[in-house]
Copies of this chain bind each other. A is one copy, B any other.
């Protein structure tokens, strides 16, 4: 596609779609223009000319002059159908739909192989951080040890407000929603589903291993209370919701859990809606990337970087899938955790491998100990709103 102008067909004109429009409009160096935007509601007032819009997906999917389909809608099932059809029609696709991608990675991988067209989705994982492309280009899977970080802007915003401005959870959540950082359904964020989708995507690009979202354990920040916050502050720590992927002995484990983070940790200073990703590898030791993980123009500019990469026919090579030594996904790993609860029948202390600290007061109890990740996956007791968990470093 070199030297020619790329015609874009866009699905969705919400926060990210409008962000992309703005970014594209102000970026002079890119040979791409919007030809058509497919939206659901034809009667909604739009900030740009009506001639851009259609409600018929086929106006984009069957238009031979449209080179690239940009999929930016919220409906997971509809998004998958649009992306599949576009790929089958031989169009390059750029998408920001982490959930749709995470849930359909094997099928999408096959589709882009069979139809020999690029499918790029940098914006789906940590928005403005070019993490997928770095994993694709910089690491052989036997050299990479771990990928971990803060990959949800809205929970990080909430946690920042709680720790830096002493706001309550509810007030901080409301602020995040007012600023447009929280997703349509805030439980996806605060219960750790959104970062889990990113973990699933990053795991494939980091280690070549396909996992389903339901295989990856997630526990968010909705159980957090003042006692936990004081526990962290007394130890000069903060709390961050961290997606974690680590390879060891031919296996790889992954989870999304709230962590107690010490001051020397690079993730400590990732504030507000920013995301931060830490890579550990044999040759470069640690690499750290920080950037805005939410917001229209930050995500829009990640989408634009994919469009820009299509101009030189870039596509993900998925080299690690093709190699022989992909690690096997496991939940069999020991974690050092703090578990806070109200009364002894709320938790199953017998499921701990060991317990090194135990605290009791009339208001609250907690233990610090080691527990196998599989036990957390199997535990019903963690569903109790009066129980919280934090991973310790």
Chain A interface residues (CB < 8 Å from chain B): 19, 22-23, 26-30, 128-130, 134, 137-138, 140-143, 264, 266, 269, 274, 281-292, 297-298, 300-301, 305, 308-309, 312-314, 317, 319-320, 322-323, 325
A283 CA to B297 CA, complexed, in Å: 5
- Asked whether A142 lies within 8 Å of B28 as measured between CB atoms, the reply is yes
- Asked whether A301 lies within 8 Å of B28 as measured between CB atoms, the reply is no
A247 CA to B29 CA, complexed, in Å: 18
Determine how close the nearest CB of chain B comes to the CB of A330; give it in whole angstroms: 22
What are the 6 tightest A-B residue pairs by CB atom distance, in nearest-first order?
A288-B290, A283-B297, A128-B284, A287-B291, A27-B140, A283-B301
Determine how close the nearest CB of chain B comes to the CB of A134; give it in whole angstroms: 6
Residues of B within 8 A of A274 (CB): 286
Residues of B within 8 A of A305 (CB): 137-138
Q: What are 24 A-B interface contacts by the 8 Å CB criterion?
A: A22-B283, A27-B143, A29-B323, A129-B287, A138-B305, A266-B269, A266-B290, A274-B286, A281-B301, A282-B297, A283-B297, A283-B298, A283-B301, A284-B291, A284-B292, A284-B297, A284-B298, A286-B290, A286-B291, A287-B289, A288-B290, A289-B290, A312-B313, A312-B314
A29-B284 CB under 8 A given contacts A137-B308, A308-B137:
no
A312 CA to B315 CA, complexed, in Å: 9
A298 CA to B286 CA, complexed, in Å: 10
Residue of chain B at shortest CB distance from A23: B283
Determine how close the nearest CB of chain B comes to the CB of A24; give it in whole angstroms: 10
A303 CA to B319 CA, complexed, in Å: 18
Residue of chain B at shortest CB distance from A263: B269
Determine how close the nearest CB of chain B comes to the CB of A123; give it in whole angstroms: 11
- Asked whether B288 lies within 8 Å of A291 as measured between CB atoms, the reply is yes
A157 CA to B373 CA, complexed, in Å: 38
- Asked whether A140 lies within 8 Å of B30 as measured between CB atoms, the reply is yes
Residue of chain B at shortest CB distance from A296: B283
Residue of chain B at shortest CB distance from A128: B284
A123 CA to B130 CA, complexed, in Å: 18
- Asked whether A140 lies within 8 Å of B283 as measured between CB atoms, the reply is no
Determine how close the nearest CB of chain B comes to the CB of A193; give it in whole angstroms: 25
Residues of B within 8 A of A134 (CB): 130
Partner of A320, one of B29, B128, B142, B308: B29
A26 CA to B264 CA, complexed, in Å: 31
Residues of B within 8 A of A141 (CB): 29
- Asked whether B140 lies within 8 Å of A28 as measured between CB atoms, the reply is yes
Most central of A142, A288, A298, A313 by chain B CB within 10 Å: A288
